[in-house]
Amino acid sequence: MKIAVFSTRNYDQQFLEQFNTGHELTFFTQSLSLQNIPLTQGFDALCLFVNDNADAQVLAKLEENGIKLILLRCAGFNNIDLFAAAETGIKVLRVPAYSPQAVAEHAMAMILTLNRKTHKAHNRTREGNFSLEGLMGFNLHSAKVALIGTGNIGKAFYNILVGFGCQIMAYDPYPDKELTAKGLQYGTLEQVISGADIVSLHCPLLEDNHHMINTTTLQLFKKGAMLINTSRGGLINTPEVIAALKSGQLGYLGIDVYEQESKLFFADHSSEIMTDELIARLISFPNVLITSHQGFFTREAMEQIAQTTYANVDAFASGSALDNEVRE
Ligand code: NAD
């Protein structure tokens, strides 16, 4: 099939070329948007990532251009209007799980960095400063962790937390039997975030949980607790989180995702004036750690994304069952 790959970076091209099962790929660095629809002419399928926009307007144009298939090289599908896709008949296939360990390990890396401040210690010692002032952390052993979402990533993260000796409570509308059997206790969102030292988000962004972390839920946090978001930026109300950081109600914030990330992430803006006031404010806090959606970014995950993407397109091309189809 003729496939247009959007939001391509060198590493995407490398893995998609390595595992190609015989399709004709054209790589675009741009993200898909209404403005660059003409690029999609002459293709059968599009391969998209987290910040490509396939809303109803875009999908209507894609249908006109003869696009039959969208191959998401990610698990989340909040950037696709699935109702509109169904109306156009365009199939949407995704990579439901690609090394959940990668994201879970990144969440733990964020916790360890924020807690033990190894980034600051590294900078200090490089300048001959061996002082410990301001570097004190807390033991993760026995710390209370609220796990929000216990799917593939939440489960992998649970196992890491068990290894660290944390006390874990979880919230998920669909509790996992395997984890319950292992002794994990589930509660309501309010119950699990109250009193937790760390709250870590591992659920998809859906209409009903947009801004689930807001002034009201932040007031339930233990004062000075840590919030980690490796899921989707829209799960947290950023201005309200900033207010909680300013008041000290929130003690640490680690984010790998940001609601307005599509204008910033995956590109070098270091020689530009920063116009996004929210990210500029977040960067100014000493207790905030921001990474630009790199949780998934391991060699193993890139291999799995490429392999599943080709399994998806091959299933579509051969008329086989579409195991990884996403539908409203
Ligand atoms: P998954 O589908 O395996 O699990 C999601 C879990 O969240 C399910 O158990 C579901 O029941 C639960 N859930 C649904 N709504 C919820 C709510 N309101 N509150 C709490 N739990 C809820 O997904 P996954 O593979 O574990 O991925 C989780 C999320 O991580 C994805 O949706 C995506 O947004 C994000 N992600 C981020 C990266 C990254 O690089 N940072 C990479 C992959 C995925």
Asked whether the predicted pLDDT for residue 125 surpasses 90, the reply is yes
149 with 202, same domain: the answer is yes
What local confidence, expressed as pLDDT, does residue 192 receive? 98
Asked whether the predicted pLDDT for residue 98 surpasses 90, the reply is no
What is the Å distance from ligand 1's center to 158 Cα?
13
The domain spanning residue 157 has which CATH number?
3.40.50.720
The CB-based long-range contact list for 96-101 (8 Å cut-off, 24+ gap) reads 96/152, 96/308, 96/324, 97/152, 97/304, 98/296, 98/301, 98/304, 98/305, 98/308, 99/296, 99/298, 99/300, 99/301, 99/304, 100/151, 100/152, 100/153, 100/155, 100/156, 101/156, 101/300
Contact status, residue 98 vs residue 296, Cβ threshold 8 Å: yes
Contact status, residue 166 vs residue 140, Cβ threshold 8 Å: yes
What local confidence, expressed as pLDDT, does residue 104 receive? 98
Residue 326 lies in a domain: no
DSSP string, 2-24: EEEEPS--HHHHHHHHHT--S-E
Is 0.90 surpassed by the pTM of this model?
yes
Q: Which two tokens stand for residue 151?
A: 């799917």
Pocket, ligand 1, Cβ cutoff 6 A: 75-76, 97, 100, 103, 148-154, 171-174, 202-206, 209, 230-232, 256-257, 293, 295-296
pLDDT in tens, 48-63: 999 999 999 999 999 9
What local confidence, expressed as pLDDT, does residue 76 receive? 86
Return the closest-CA partner of residue 257 out of 279, 285, 287. 279
Give the active site residues.
Answer: 232, 261
212 with 144, same domain: the answer is yes
Residue 323 lies in a domain: no
What is the Å distance from ligand 1's center to 93 Cα?
17
Which atom of ligand 1 approaches the CA of 297 most closely?
Answer: 40
What local confidence, expressed as pLDDT, does residue 189 receive? 97
Q: Categorise residue 224: left if φ over 0, alpha if ψ from -120 to 50, beta otherwise.
A: left
Q: How far is CA 308 from CA 10, 99, 106, 296, 320, in A?
A: 19, 12, 22, 15, 14
Query: ipTM for the complex?
Result: 0.99
User: Rounded mean pLDDT of 160-174?
Assistant: 98
94 with 159, same domain: the answer is no
What local confidence, expressed as pLDDT, does residue 97 receive? 86
Query: Edge to edge, what strands does the sheet with 91-93 contain?
Result: 24-27, 2-5, 45-48, 69-72, 91-93
55 with 151, same domain: the answer is no
Asked whether the predicted pLDDT for residue 305 surpasses 90, the reply is yes
Nearest CA to ligand 1 atom 6: 151
Top pLDDT among 90 and 195 is at 90
Residue 61 lies in a domain: yes
180 with 242, same domain: the answer is yes
pLDDT in tens, 196-223: 999 999 999 999 999 999 999 999 999 9
71 with 108, same domain: the answer is no
Domain that holds residue 149: 100-290
170 with 281, same domain: the answer is yes
Residue 139 lies in a domain: yes
Q: Residue 32 — φ and ψ, nearest 5°?
A: -70, 135
* Total number of domains in the chain: 2
